[in-house]
A and B are shown apart, each in its own frame.
Chain A
Amino acid sequence: MRSPAAVSHPAVAETHQIDLLLAATRPRRRPRALTASATFGRRALLKIKHDPKQLVDSVAIPILFTVLFTYLFGGAVSGSPGAYLEHLLPGTLSMSIAIVTMYGGARLAQDVTTGVFERLSSLPVWRGAFVLGGLLSDAARYLFASAIVVVLGLIMGYRPDGGAPGVLAAVAVIVAFGLALSLLWAAVALLVRDPAVVISIANVVLMPLSFASNIFVEPETMPGRLRTFVDVNPLSHVATTARDLMNDTGGTGGSLAWTLIATAALTAICAPLTLRLYAKQH
Chain B
Amino acid sequence: MLESDDGGGEPGGGRRTVEVARRLASPDEPLEPRRDDVVRVVGLGTRDSGQGRVQHQGIAVDEPPPGVQEPGQRVGGRGGVEAGVVEQGDDLTGYENLTVLGRLHGLSRAACRRRAGDLLSGFDLTGAADRPVGGYSGGMRRRLDLAAGLIVTPDLLFLDEPTTGLDPRGRGRVWELVRRIATAGTTVLLTTQYLDEADQLAERIAVIDRGRVVAEGTSAQLKSRVGPGTLHVRLLDGDQRPRAHQVLATALDGTVRPAADPLALSIPLPTGRTDVARLIGHAMTRLADAQVAVAEVTLGQPTLDEAFLALTATTDQEDVSA
Q: Which residues of A contact B (CB under 8 A)?
A: 10, 14, 17-31, 35-36, 39-40, 42-43, 46-47, 50-51, 111, 114-116, 118-125, 282
Contact = CB atoms under 8 A, between A and B. Distances in A.
B70 A46 contact: no
Contacts of A36: 103-104
A20 to B, nearest CB: 8
Given A21-B119, A25-B152, A31 B78 contact: no
Contact of B106 (A18, A23, A27): A27
A31 B104 contact: yes
A21 B123 CA distance: 10
A28 to B, nearest CB: 6
Contacts of A18: 122-123, 177, 180
Contacts of B107: 25, 28
Contacts of B186: 22
Contact of B180 (A10, A19, A42, A118): A19
Interface of B is mostly: loop
Contacts of B184: 19, 22-23
B92 interface: yes
Nearest to B180: A18
Interface in B65-106: 66-70, 73-78, 82-85, 87-89, 91-93, 96, 100, 103-106
A43 B77 contact: no
A17 B150 CA distance: 13
Contacts of B154: 27
Contacts of A23: 153, 184
B74 A22 contact: no
B118 A39 contact: no
12 contacts: A17-B122, A25-B111, A25-B115, A25-B153, A27-B67, A31-B105, A40-B104, A43-B89, A47-B89, A118-B77, A121-B73, A122-B77
A119 B77 contact: yes
B121 interface: yes
Contact of A114 (B69, B88, B106, B111): B88
Given A22-B184, A46-B92, 8 more contacts: A21-B122, A25-B107, A25-B152, A26-B66, A27-B67, A27-B154, A122-B76, A282-B74
A27 B152 contact: yes
B77 A115 contact: yes
B154 to A, nearest CB: 8
B237 to A, nearest CB: 53
Contact of B103 (A22, A26, A31): A31
A17 B117 CA distance: 12
A134 B154 CA distance: 28
B70 A17 contact: no
Interface in B11-34: none
Interface string B185-214: 110000000000000000000000000000
Given A10-B124, A18-B177, A43-B92, A121 B76 contact: yes
Interface string B110-149: 0100010011011110000000100000000000000000
A47 B132 CA distance: 10
Contacts of B96: 43, 46
Contacts of A42: 100
Nearest to A51: B91
Contacts of A114: 88
Interface string B148-161: 00111110000000
A14 B124 contact: yes
B166 interface: no
A117 B123 CA distance: 27
Contact of A22 (B66, B78, B111, B180): B180
A97 B83 CA distance: 37
B297 interface: no
B181 interface: yes
Given A18-B177, A26-B152, A122-B69, A39 B119 contact: no
B153 A28 contact: no
Contacts of A116: 85, 88
B76 A118 contact: yes
Contacts of B180: 18-19, 22
A39 B104 CA distance: 7
A275 B37 CA distance: 35
Nearest 8 CB-CB pairings of A with B: A22-B184, A27-B152, A27-B67, A39-B103, A17-B122, A50-B91, A31-B106, A118-B77
A30 B71 CA distance: 12
Contacts of A124: 68-70, 73, 104-106
Given A18-B180, A21-B150, A36-B104, A28 B67 contact: yes
A31 B152 CA distance: 13
Contacts of A43: 89, 92, 96, 100
Given A14-B122, A27-B67, A47-B92, A119 B106 contact: no
B91 to A, nearest CB: 4
